[in-house]
Amino acid sequence: MGNNFSYDFFKTSADYVLSRTGYQVDLALILGSSLGSLSEEIKKPIVIDYADIPNFLETTVDSHAGKLIIGDLGGKKLACMSGRFHYYEGYDFEQLVAPIRLFQLLGAKTVILTNAAGAVNSSFHVGDIMLIEDHIKIMGASPLRGQNIPEFGPRFFDVSNMYSKDLRELAKKCASRIGMSLREGVYFYMSGPQFETPAEIRAIRALGGDAVGMSTVYEAITAAHCGMKVLGLSLMTNMAAGMLDQAVTAEEVDETASLTSERFKSLIREIIEEIS
Ligand code: HPA
């Protein structure tokens, strides 16, 4: 019943990574669909294939690279996942805790989560970047289901400030410094891999969602459990289903992500420099 992972199960992954790097990190970053090129800017990179990390997961999505990159960026020691894991790949939510627990054991106090998302709020445009203010996940179990591991956090925990207000304020300052405007709103999780129906999008809007996507929430919940601060940034790669007279396609998602990745990268670079 539930999961049978122990603290040592996760520690084995972290010990392997630490044996390759020899140092702890300040900060962690998960790069979403087609945003992986930021990892090329990491200085003195130590690149570790997910497949080499014991007790870790393997990525199955083409636009996700499947590498952990550890090195220096903006004066910080950073662990960066280029390629993330999703429920639609066949993992259980309980398995999707692995990246955040690895980051926590590597010493990260803060994690930046990025993703591609569909815009549900009709005042948003393709290419906009949204600060995640909060999320709605009404699909499926919690990633924390199963036996609690007290070394990571308590059985019951607060998620009322899961996406740190301080980090959102910092992100806004960084954005205005580089002449960018940011949206702010609620990320609504859908399990995919199909995009949504127009009726689902109307329901999501009625429930308070501003953007829709297939990732991030289980990572944010796991981070909240172990006391890490979270900053979430969503790139609006498309208008959600039914909002325009056209289909939602993976090609459009990838194309928008690559066209806007420079802006997204400058913002993240600026934020990493400013984060304490
Ligand atoms: N729906 C769900 N996930 C997504 C979308 C979408 O429209 N665009 C990018 N990721």
Task: Give the whole-angstrom CA distance, residue 100 versus residue 109.
Answer: 11
List the structure tokens of 184. Answer: 């702010």
CATH numbers and ranges of domains, the chain: 7-274 (3.40.50.1580)
In 3-state terms, what secondary structure has residue 185? strand
Task: Report which of 37, 94, 93 is spatially closest to residue 215, judged by C-alpha positions.
Answer: 93
Phi, psi of 115 (to 5 degrees): -155, 165
Choosing from 248, 251, 254, 260 the residue with most ligand 1 atoms within 8 A of its CB, the one to mutate for a pocket test is 248
Task: Give the whole-angstrom CA distance, residue 217 versus residue 222.
Answer: 9
Ligand 1 atom index nearest CA of 240:
7
Write out the chain's pLDDT in tens, 276 residues.
446 689 999 999 999 999 999 999 999 999 887 676 788 889 999 999 998 999 998 777 665 568 899 999 989 999 999 878 999 999 999 999 999 999 999 999 999 999 999 999 999 999 999 999 999 999 889 999 999 999 999 999 999 999 999 999 999 999 999 999 999 999 999 999 999 999 999 999 999 999 999 999 999 999 999 999 999 999 999 999 999 989 888 888 888 888 888 888 889 999 999 998
CA 58, 195, 160 angle in degrees (round to 5)?
75
What separation in Å is there between the alpha carbon of 5 and the centre of ligand 1? 31
What separation in Å is there between the alpha carbon of 109 and the centre of ligand 1? 29
In 3-state terms, what secondary structure has residue 111? strand
What separation in Å is there between the alpha carbon of 234 and the centre of ligand 1? 10
pLDDT at 2 (0 to 100)? 47
Q: Of all protein residues, whose CA lies closest to atom 3 belonging to ligand 1? A: 213
CA distance readout (Å), 52 to 7, 13, 231, 276: 19, 9, 28, 31
CB-based pocket (< 6 A), ligand 1: 116-118, 190, 195-196, 212-214, 237-238, 240, 248, 253
- Sign, CA dihedral 37-41-42-46, equals positive
pLDDT at 61 (0 to 100)? 65
Choosing from 130, 238, 249 the residue with most ligand 1 atoms within 8 A of its CB, the one to mutate for a pocket test is 238
Strand partners of residue 16? none
Q: Which helix (H) or strand (E) holds 103?
A: helix 98-105
23, amino acid identity: Y
What separation in Å is there between the alpha carbon of 240 and the centre of ligand 1? 7
pTM of the model: 0.94
Task: Give the whole-angstrom CA distance, residue 83 versus residue 266.
Answer: 19
* Percent of the chain that is helix, strand, coil (3-state, to 5): 35, 25, 40
Four-point Cα dihedral 236, 219, 232, 270, nearest 10:
-110
pLDDT at 58 (0 to 100)? 77
In the numeric block, the tokens 């939510």 are attached to 93
Contact partners, residue 194, CB within 8 Å, separation at least 6: none
Task: Give the whole-angstrom CA distance, residue 105 versus residue 109.
Answer: 10
